[in-house]
Amino acid sequence: EVVIVRRTRCIGHNACITPRMVTDRELYSQTVARAIDNYGYSELALILNVTVEDLDSWATGQSRPPAHTFFRIINLTRATARQ
């Protein structure tokens, strides 16, 4: 399993940056969960042309979405973050 180091800021300390280890499984599941929060299961499943069961499996870390679907999810979450 791949481990990704994310740098996060401590609460209340803009100058303090601490590394946090994030597994690729967490990255996938957190990204999918964020998209589900933004769109809801049904709407996101329709947009991605997948089943709600697939989304649930990805959001819980039981499996990973195909790469092309994951990139679409990233683009969708980025689009809603800009609004």
Print pLDDT tens along the chain (83 aa). 554 545 555 555 544 555 566 678 899 999 999 999 999 999 999 999 999 999 999 999 999 999 999 999 999 999 887 77
Question: To 10 degrees, the CA torsion angle through 11, 19, 82, 31?
Answer: -110
Question: To 10 degrees, the CA torsion angle through 29, 6, 23, 1?
Answer: 130
Q: Which pLDDT value is given to residue 18? A: 53
Give the global pTM. Answer: 0.72
